C-alpha cells in the first residue's frame, strides 16, 4: 500500500479511513466492489479516485483483518 493514500481524521467522515484529499471512504470502495461494480465503474463515478487509491483501500482492508480478532460469521441456512 502506498503510504499516505489512506488517512483518518476525526473531522472527516467521523474518522473513518478515507482516500487522502477526498471524503471517499475505504468502506464505500469495498461496498461497491462487493456489489459487483468494476474498478472502471468506480473510477468513472468518482473522478478524483485513482486505480492506486483503490488498490490502497484493498490493502488497508486486508491489513485491518490481520488483527488477532475473531469475527463471528453466521452460517448459511441450507
From the number of C-beta atoms within 10 Å of its C-beta (0-12, 13-18, 19+), residue 28 rates as: middle
Domain span at 21: 6-65
What would the pLDDT profile of 3-46 be if each residue is shown by its tens digit?
789 999 999 999 999 999 999 999 999 999 999 999 999 999 99
**Residue 10: predicted pLDDT:** 95
- Name which residue leads in pLDDT, 47 or 78: 47
71: in domain: no
35: in domain: yes
**Residue 6: predicted pLDDT:** 96
Cα 9 to Cα 75: distance, rounded to the nearest angstrom: 35
33: in domain: yes
Query: Domains in the chain: how many in total?
Result: 1
**Residue 46: predicted pLDDT:** 96
Q: What is the CATH number of the domain that holds 23?
A: 1.10.10.10
**Residue 77: predicted pLDDT:** 64
For the beta carbon of residue 24, count every other beta carbon within 10 angstroms: 21
CB 49 within 8 A of CB 39: no
Model confidence pTM above 0.85 = no
37: in domain: yes
Amino acid at each position: 500500500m502506498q503510504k499516505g493514500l489512506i488517512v483518518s481524521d476525526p473531522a472527516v467522515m467521523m474518522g473513518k479511513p478515507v482516500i487522502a484529499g477526498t471524503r471517499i471512504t475505504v468502506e464505500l470502495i469495498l461496498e461497491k466492489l462487493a456489489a459487483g461494480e468494476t474498478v472502471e465503474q468506480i473510477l468513472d463515478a468518482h473522478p478524483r479516485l485513482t486505480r492506486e487509491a483503490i488498490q490502497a483501500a484493498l490493502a488497508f482492508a486486508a491489513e485491518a483483518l490481520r488483527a488477532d480478532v475473531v469475527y463471528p460469521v453466521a452460517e448459511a441456512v441450507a
